[in-house]
């Protein structure tokens, strides 16, 4: 079976968390909206009186199901492809961590769009600078402290966030660190030494053979200033 | 078994989505932080090198598990207490809708805190007014249109968001409409006629015997200006 992933074709965005899970578990998938006519196919699946419509991309077609919301898609893939622990405690905790990462992603996005998604960044420069300062000095350390403590307190050791095996949450943490380092290179290089376990996990994920191959392929869309993680010098002082 | 719910004791907030699920399914639970010494008990469960720590309230203690993130807690309760469909398609769609409601809740919160959670509302009055206008005119209709279309296209009829029975997502939609109507009474009364199925569901949930009893009890904390849904006249013009 070939999965069909639907996501905006020019950004990593929330689709990237799904791509990483599909790549790491070696699944065949089609990144539909990157093909000719793919955008039209994606738009047809949104709204129009269809039963069980998605609100927004990403969504995944598989086995007659259409599943949306990144954390939900990951839970689905995790169950099927061994990217989630099988014991209930580990499974609920993996899902909990994924939702906390999703919260971090929203806040990272809002640094450049504090007044909402409908205005351009250029229309909210001062507000973005204020929100970014709060993010860099208060929120970012709070989240990074938390994930470092999750690694440090994992009863199975600090190699993974949960249990002894790779989960989609490890992959998503890698992606969050990638994105934060792209958006806030100064802030992130200042704190790197404070989070040895986080960055060790990041580096391990980057060197997994399938992930390494993916990252150097043209399936990996480069970061850019249309995505969630954007680099603006003014927001990283 | 008595569930232990941990959440800030003076607001509905994200804890309210859990309270409604516990109440609607008739579960025994203790709202721990509302008891004397309860706040200290809650803070002890956050951080401190504990394995599998929560990032923030709400979290739920049950059967030796500690589960955080509202959508995750609801999935756990839904599975156990018949507040989720048992077929995979219905289950994944219920969880997807819950995450979309969570996105709406974040945006409703950010109307009064566009520059981040660490500044007071009074320090971001102009920005809050701008973000609220965008929310009222663009984002709110987009979300309400979506949920109305989900009801309209439910193959099992518009009485519920998913399937033929009450789910926690119906309860959460009720709570979102309650909160939005508290925060934006003018905006919501203007659009009420456009969403007959949404408000019919709201009214049905409000009249469920257990929910009705809960809403008139002192277990229901009134809305106030410390919570997620806050009423400021300036944000509802």
Q: Does A160 touch chain B (CB under 8 A)?
A: no
The mean pLDDT value for B148-160 works out to 97
pTM (two decimals)? 0.98
CA angle B79, B83, B89 (to 5 degrees): 70
Residue B161 exposure: Cα atoms within 13 Å on the Cβ side = 30
Q: Judge: A54–B134 Cβ closer than 8 Å, yes or no.
A: no
Q: Does A120 touch chain B (CB under 8 A)?
A: no
Local confidence band at A46 (pLDDT 50, 70, 90 cut-offs)? confident
CA–CA separation, B150 and A55 (whole Å): 10
Dump strand ranges (E) for A19-117: 29-31, 59-62, 65-68
| pLDDT, tens only, B90-147 | 999 999 999 999 999 999 999 999 999 888 999 999 999 999 999 999 999 999 999 9
Residue in A72, A89, A96, A56 with CA at minimum distance from that of residue A21: A72
Helix extents (H) in chain B: 15-24, 38-44, 70-81, 88-110, 125-134, 140-152, 168-183, 185-191, 196-207, 209-215
Q: Which residue shows structure tokens 């929310």?
A: B135
Supply the DSSP symbol for A78: H
Which of chain A's residues have a Cβ under 8 Å away from the Cβ of B149?
47, 49, 53
What interface predicted TM-score (ipTM) does this complex get?
0.97
Q: Given a cut of 70, is residue B47 above it in pLDDT?
A: no
pLDDT of residue B117: 86
- pLDDT above 90: residue B48: no
**Residue B150 pLDDT more than 70?**
yes
Q: What percent of chain A has pLDDT over 90?
A: 94
- A67 touches B: beta carbon within 8 Å: yes
pLDDT tier at A48, thresholds 50, 70, 90: confident
Tell me the C-alpha distance between A45 and A6, whole Å.
Answer: 9
Cβ contacts of B72 on chain A, cutoff 8 Å = 92, 95-96, 99
Nearest chain B residue to A53 by CA distance is B150
């Amino acid at each position: 079976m070939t999965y069909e992933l639907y996501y905006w074709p020019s950004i990593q965005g929330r689709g990237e968390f799904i791509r990483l899970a599909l790549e790491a578990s070696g699944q065949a998938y089609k990144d539909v909206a990157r093909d000719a006519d793919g955008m039209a196919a994606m738009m047809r699946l949104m709204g129009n009186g269809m039963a069980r419509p998605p609100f927004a991309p990403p969504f995944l077609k598989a086995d007659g199901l259409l599943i949306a919301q990144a954390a939900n898609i990951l839970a689905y893939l995790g169950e099927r492809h061994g990217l989630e622990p099988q014991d209930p405690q580990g499974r609920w905790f993996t899902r909990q961590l994924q939702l906390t990462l999703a919260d971090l992603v929203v806040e990272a996005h809002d640094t450049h769009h504090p007044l909402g998604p409908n205005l351009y960044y250029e229309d909210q420069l001062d507000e973005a600078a204020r929100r970014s300062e709060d993010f860099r000095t208060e929120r970012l350390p709070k989240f990074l402290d938390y994930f470092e403590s999750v690694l440090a307190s994992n009863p199975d050791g600090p190699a993974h966030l949960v249990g002894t095996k790779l989960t989609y949450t490890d992959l998503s943490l890698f992606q969050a660190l990638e994105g934060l380092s792209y958006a806030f290179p100064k802030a992130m290089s200042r704190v790197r030494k404070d989070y040895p376990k986080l960055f060790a996990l990041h580096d391990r994920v980057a060197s997994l053979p399938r992930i390494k191959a993916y990252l150097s392929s043209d399936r990996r869309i480069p970061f850019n200033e249309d995505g969630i993680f954007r680099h603006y010098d003014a927001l990283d002082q």
